[in-house]
């Protein structure tokens, strides 16, 4: 599969919390940083997501905001 998004973070599923419509997926990256994504329950099921499975967090945004105190 090829994808245009440049921000592709490879990791492993750390936890899955299904809801009635959406599912929270926590992905642990090398070094221990976690990325959390909310996807549809149907998508999580169709991808066969399971704890320990290797996945990619793909981030595509037209802007990233930066803030300081």
Report domain extents, the chain. 7-59
Q: Looking at the domain that runs over 7-59, which CATH code has it been given?
A: 2.40.50.100
Whether residue 61 has pLDDT greater than 90:
no
Query: What local confidence, expressed as pLDDT, does residue 54 receive?
Result: 97
Whether residue 62 has pLDDT greater than 80:
no
Cβ-contact 46, 34 below 8 angstroms? no
The whole-model pTM stands at: 0.85
- 60: pLDDT confidence band, cut at 50, 70 and 90? confident
What span, in angstroms and rounded, lies between the C-alpha atoms of 69 and 65? 14
pLDDT, tens digit (0-9, with 9 covering 90-100), for 43-57: 999 999 999 999 999
């Amino acid at each position: 599969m090829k994808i245009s998004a440049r921000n592709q973070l490879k990791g492993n599923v750390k936890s899955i919390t299904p809801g009635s419509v959406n599912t929270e997926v926590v992905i642990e990256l090398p070094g221990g940083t976690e990325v959390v994504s909310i996807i549809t329950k149907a998508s999580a099921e169709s991808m066969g997501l399971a704890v320990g499975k290797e996945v990619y967090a793909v981030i595509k945004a037209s802007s990233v905001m930066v803030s300081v105190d």
